[in-house]
Amino acid sequence: MTAPGWVRHVIWWQVYPLGFVGAFPADAPPDPSEHRLRRIAEWFDHAIELGASGIALGPVFASRTHGYDTTDHFRIDPRLGDDDDFDYVVGEAHRHGLRVLLDGVFNHVGPDFPRNHEGWFREHTFEGHGDLTTLNHDNPEVADYVVDVMGYWLRRGADGWRLDAAYAVPQRFWSAVLPRVREMHPEAWFVGELIHGDYAAVVSEAGFDSVTQYELWKAIWSGLNDGNFYELDWALQRHNGFVESFPPLTFIGNHDVTRIASRLENSDHLAHALVLLMTVGGVPSVYAGDELGYLGVKEERFGGDDAIRPEFGSPPVPVDEHGARVWSLYQYLIGFRRRHPWLFGASTTALRLDNRHYVYRTQHGDDALIVALNIAESPLQMSLPHAQIIAGSGAPPQEVVDAVTIEPHGWRILQPI
């Protein structure tokens, strides 16, 4: 598949709307007259200052609880507002130059979804959740329904869809549905949620433009925590193969996982994780709050997602000194990515690899950078061809060198001359 041209430049700022505006969990469900969905638009200037160029929204359609138990795909969740509020948010996003990605839950539905559709449902529930009923994807009426839903909101201004739990839906379903939607909306982008497996094969068979790169996410934080860059290098070798076929959606945080600031055992390594995200191929996504150093641990229990899906007030949010440093780091590295758009299609090659030192070349065509990561307690000294330091911890940019010393837990990005 060939991604729409605009995807090459997009960096998503991901928002989980129901939590972001305090609609779920809540002691009393908000009334539609509160128009809470519009609060997200108040943050678009923040997203622009961060360097994002797109807003990836979690579920906004009618549901009973967390949004992934959809009741009506054609109606905005009344806890968020109404159709006018959706139009306002999309209009404001586009006025700010921001793309909009919607979250479509088409594998299963909630208990309040109308049950008067004969043959639309399977007997089993989704992954043991008794309130989530799996749709019958062999029924052509279900396919027609999904096509209608996608097309309706794309006509209303959305730019693409994240397809929730796409791994649980037969690939033949997507391969039948997506071409019909693309025929009407050729510039739309479709990213499937995959966790494991042969990403490239699934993309080819299902017809996605992209999938969620969970393999790389896991290798980044566990490689940093364990002092095991071999795991990361293995994941990046696989990532290179994916980039040859499609642009993966890359991330170090989202609404379903423990926040990166809580996941990393050494806070100094947050920079390393973000450097990796912003210097490898794919389409980067930043989960709202990560850029401010927010903490949050996901737990496997009822309400276990609440800590990673907090309510945001009106901007600007006051941050302490640490939060300000994290914000500056995100701004800088996202800006760096924006100034090097060729990284969208980059592949990486290890130049030096051991448990706590990782130096790699990231390249696309004639464009190349060298990235050096040191998570050891001692300095990393390395010789290299004539190169210019353009970014790094404790390093003045623009210095041309033939050797470099990287302090403990430091990093550098260099431009070969």
All structural domains of the chain: 5-345 (3.20.20.80), 349-416 (2.60.40.1180)
Query: What pTM did the predictor assign?
Result: 0.97
Residues in the chain with pLDDT values less than 50: none
**Edge-first strand listing for the sheet containing 347-353:** 347-353, 357-364, 367-374, 411-416, 380-392, 399-406
Length of the chain: 417
- For the record, the structure tokens of 284 come out as 């980067």
| Residues 346, 365: Cα–Cα separation, whole Å | 8
CA–CA dist 325, 323 (Å, integer): 5
Q: Which amino acid is at 408?
A: P
Q: What is the pLDDT of residue 129?
A: 65
> pLDDT for 367-404, tens place per residue?
999 999 999 999 999 998 789 999 999 766 667 888 99
* Preceding amide of 25 cis, omega within 30: yes
Strand residues in 282-333 grouped as ranges (E): 283-287
Nearest to 78 by CA among 92, 63, 90: 63
Question: From CA 6, how far away is CA 392, in angstroms rounded?
Answer: 29
Question: Are 251 and 285 within 8 A, CB to CB?
Answer: yes
HSE value, Cβ hemisphere, 13 Å, CA-based, for 356: 17
Rounded (5°) CA angle 254-205-13: 20
Q: Which residues contact 230 (CB under 8 A, 6 or more apart)?
A: 223, 353, 355
At residue 351, the pLDDT reads: 97
Tokens of 61: 């359609």
**Whole-number Å distance between alpha carbons of 241 and 200:** 8
pLDDT at residue 385 in the model? 79
